[in-house]
Amino acid sequence: MFEALMPYRKESSTLLSQQIAAQVFPQAILFSGARYGGRLTLAMETARVLSCQDDGAGWCTCTSCKQFATYGMSNVVVVGTRDHKSRIEAALVNFAELRTEESRRQLVRTMRIMLLQYHGALLESADQKGSSAFDAASNVDEALMEIESASPGDFPRLAEMIRSVLKPLYAQFKRTVTLSIGQVRSLQEWTMQTSFGNVPRFIILEGVEQSNEGARNSLLKLLEEPPEHTFVMLISEYPARLLPTILSRLQRHHVRPFSEEEKNLLLSTVFFADGAKYRNLEEYMLERSGVPCKQITAQGVMFVQSILEKRVLPREQLDVLCDELDEPIRLEYFLKEIQTIVRQRFLEGALTDREASRLVSIAGEAEQKASVFNQSRKLLVESLHYRLLEVR
């Protein structure tokens, strides 16, 4: 069990293996921790092991494990606020450049994770606009079949073909929307349907803390008495924002950040990249997808320095900054970098504990507003700048 993840996630893999072997794995679990830390990968591998028709070994070739190898199984639904576009674009770049079986596998699995959000169990809960996304997802799935049988020489051409097929789906993405009441009800109905051979079903929910009260209350009812052979897995970067009543029904599993050694090993063996060039897996993924992380970090340093010096940035400079943060993922990365840089300045003695805590809190609030309310980036960045100056 979890053999493929042991080199990078030994602690989590060992614990989960022990729980499954002892038949004490919970029906409701929370995987918490920073993004790009392997939380969803652990959840998917857990689902594979629990679905396995044999002993869950990583090399198993039973019918279920063959489906999980390409994430082509039908007993898993994923709903959440994941930034699929950046991950897919990074996988497409590797697919076209490396032309290896591993880059093919990574692309197929990355795209199928996105397609699990368009599982048939959720079709009835989709509105008219959402229904068109299901049609687009079907076209993407057909394109993936061509990739799975293609020769390496066709990889660059197929990468461009995939980008074309993905355009309608990218346009449908709403990263500000997570779980709805209708989706919870559809998932409940799905879990009550008879399955052949009592195959377990898995509901993986990411970013539930951003959903509305009605959706959270509906989820609570599902968590109180999960149907037999049904597992609910929540993934959260901010578990403290979840309702206490939801948390009380979940077994918590914290996924710690990768160590420097684990990060380097993962990047070199899975992505064939030089780990020393990237601070973490997130920076690697975003850089490969075209997000200028190092440039955004430099802007963050300039932004925080102006706060430390109590210096108002000229409007022209703020306008240039906002223009560079022209996508939600860039703005979100910038706001996270602000928090990281403030913490670093505190450790260097440039800020008091009270000042640093307040600055991080305000920047965190801005990050949450950016992801939940889709606020104007120019208004958000300018407002953040002046609020931080007031605190300083």
Q: Which residue's structure tokens are 């079903």?
A: 201
Query: 47 near 31, Cβ under 8 Å?
Result: no
Q: Which residue's structure tokens are 């070739």?
A: 61
What whole-number distance in Å separates Cα of residue 359 and Cα of residue 311?
15
Sketch the domain layout of the chain as residue ranges.
3-269, 291-391
pLDDT of 369 strictly over 80: no
Cα separation of the two ends of the chain: 51
Query: 78 near 117, Cβ under 8 Å?
Result: yes
Single pTM value for the model? 0.91
Query: 237 near 255, Cβ under 8 Å?
Result: no
State both tokens at 5: 């993840």
State both tokens at 200: 């377990």
Q: Which residues neighbour 182 within 8 Å (Cβ) at sequence distance 6 or greater?
A: 124, 125
Look at 75 and 129; give whichever has higher pLDDT.
75
Q: What is the pLDDT of residues 237-272, one digit of tens each?
A: 989 989 999 999 999 999 999 999 999 999 999 888
Cβ atoms within 10 Å, residue 227: 14
Strand 251-254 versus strand 76-79 pairing type: unpaired
- Give domain 3-269's CATH number out of 3.40.50.1980, 3.40.50.720, 3.40.50.300, 3.40.50.2000: 3.40.50.300
pLDDT of res. 175? 47
The one-character DSSP state at 76 is E
Look at 378 and 144; give whichever has higher pLDDT.
144
Of 332, 363, 355, 345, the C-alpha closest to 301 is 345
What whole-number distance in Å separates Cα of residue 186 and Cα of residue 137?
19
pLDDT of 372 strictly over 60: yes
pLDDT of 376 strictly over 80: no
Q: What is the pLDDT of residues 299-337, one digit of tens each?
A: 999 999 999 999 999 989 999 998 889 888 899 999 999
What whole-number distance in Å separates Cα of residue 319 and Cα of residue 196?
58
Q: What is the pLDDT of residues 159-218, one digit of tens each?
A: 999 999 998 888 776 544 578 898 999 999 998 887 666 789 999 999 898 888 888 989
Sequence letter at residue 310: K
Q: What is the pLDDT of residues 75-94, one digit of tens each?
A: 999 998 888 889 999 999 99
pLDDT of res. 176? 45
Of 185, 204, 191, 188, the C-alpha closest to 30 is 204
What whole-number distance in Å separates Cα of residue 125 and Cα of residue 177?
14
What whole-number distance in Å separates Cα of residue 281 and Cα of residue 285?
6
Task: List b or e across 57-73, with b for residues whose CB sees 16 or more CB atoms inside 10 angstroms.
Answer: eeebeeebbebbeebbb
What whole-number distance in Å separates Cα of residue 257 and Cα of residue 234?
18
pLDDT of res. 211? 86
- Give, for 199, the enclosing helix (H) or strand (E): none
pLDDT of res. 135? 87
